[in-house]
């Protein structure tokens, strides 16, 4: 999921069993589970490789997030309390110091924490489940394609959301979040424009 194992990389049962200190049997069961989730591919002669991650899946995830996340945050606004807004503002301040690529993982964690605090207040829980599933796909996309700059400029957008929350302006929260998610979508499309395979998948 994190992209540490690249598409096409082979998984060897004995090596995995040794690494995790288990017998090959649970490793085989785990690999079957990974196969059912579309993460690995079983080939003849018990060869297992990491499955490729089609670019269009990442694009689709970003497109759907651009539709759902603005609505989810808009629904949360009536339930936001002052202390939470202060905490969100402090969180954004912390993110300001994590802009370098080496801090990408920490920035993503803080970015997700910001949204999760608001998603926790969204009444439509099924929508939040879908968003979290899509976020998981997006994170895999980041890892596989090394798209570390997709969150560039996020801090400024989050500050705008905090300001809108202080005004209790649900419409502004929707518009800012929508603009933010569309910018992320355009970024990954631009990112892949020089890759023929990427360009073909999104055309």
Quote the pLDDT of residue 1: 67
The neighbour count for residue 153, using CB atoms within 10 Å, is 14
Residues whose CB is less than 8 angstroms from the CB of residue 34 and which lie 6 or more positions away in sequence, other chains included: 40
Quote the pLDDT of residue 98: 84
How far apart, in whole angstroms, are the C-alpha atoms of residue 30 and residue 7? 18
**Which 3 state secondary structure label does DSSP give 11?**
strand
**Which 3 state secondary structure label does DSSP give 44?**
coil
Quote the pLDDT of residue 182: 94
DSSP string, 142-164: HHHHT-TTTTTTHHHHHHHHHHH
Please return the burial class of 88, using the count of CB atoms within 10 Å of its CB with bins 0-12, 13-18 and 19+: buried
| H helix count then E strand count, the chain | 9, 3
Q: Which fold has domain 10-50?
A: Arc Repressor Mutant, subunit A (1.10.10)
**What confidence tens digit (pLDDT) does each residue in 55-93 have?**
788 889 999 999 999 999 999 999 999 999 999 999 999
Quote the pLDDT of residue 39: 81
Name the region of 154 (left: φ>0; alpha: ψ -120 to 50; beta: rest): alpha
Please list the ranges in the chain whose pLDDT falls under 50. 201, 203
For the chain, where do the domains classified as CATH 1.10.10.10 start and end? 10-50
Quote the pLDDT of residue 199: 52
Query: How far from chain centre, in Å, is Cα 139?
Result: 4
CA atoms within 13 A on the CB side of 28: 5
Tokens 């968003």 -> residue:
131
Two tokens at 179? 């603009």
For the chain, where do the domains classified as CATH 1.20.120.530 start and end? 55-202
Q: What is the CATH number of domain 55-202?
A: 1.20.120.530
Buried-state track 170-182, b at ≥16 Cβ within 10 A, e below 16: bebbbebbbebbb
Quote the pLDDT of residue 195: 57
Quote the pLDDT of residue 8: 83
Residues whose CB is less than 8 angstroms from the CB of residue 106 and which lie 6 or more positions away in sequence, other chains included: 98
Assess contact for 188 and 150: CB atoms under 8 A: yes
């Amino acid at each position: 999921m994190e992209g540490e194992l690249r598409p096409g990389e082979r998984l060897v049962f004995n090596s995995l069993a040794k690494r995790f200190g288990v017998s090959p049997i649970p490793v085989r069961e785990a690999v079957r589970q990974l196969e059912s989730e579309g993460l690995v591919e079983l080939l003849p002669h018990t060869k297992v490789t990491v499955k490729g991650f089609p670019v269009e899946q990442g694009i689709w995830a970003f497109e759907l997030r651009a539709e759902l996340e603005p609505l989810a945050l808009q629904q949360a606004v009536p339930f936001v309390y002052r202390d939470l807004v202060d905490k969100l503002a402090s969180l954004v301040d912390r993110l300001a110091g994590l802009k370098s690529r080496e801090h990408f993982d920490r920035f993503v964690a803080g970015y997700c924490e910001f949204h999760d605090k608001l998603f926790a207040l969204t009444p439509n829980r099924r929508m939040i489940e879908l968003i979290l599933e899509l976020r998981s796909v997006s994170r895999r996309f980041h890892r596989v394609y090394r798209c570390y700059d997709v969150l560039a400029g996020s801090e400024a957008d989050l500050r705008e959301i905090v300001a809108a929350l202080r005004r209790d302006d649900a419409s502004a929260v929707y518009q800012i979040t929508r603009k933010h998610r569309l910018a992320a979508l355009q970024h990954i499309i631009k990112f892949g424009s020089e890759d023929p395979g990427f360009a073909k998948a999104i055309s």
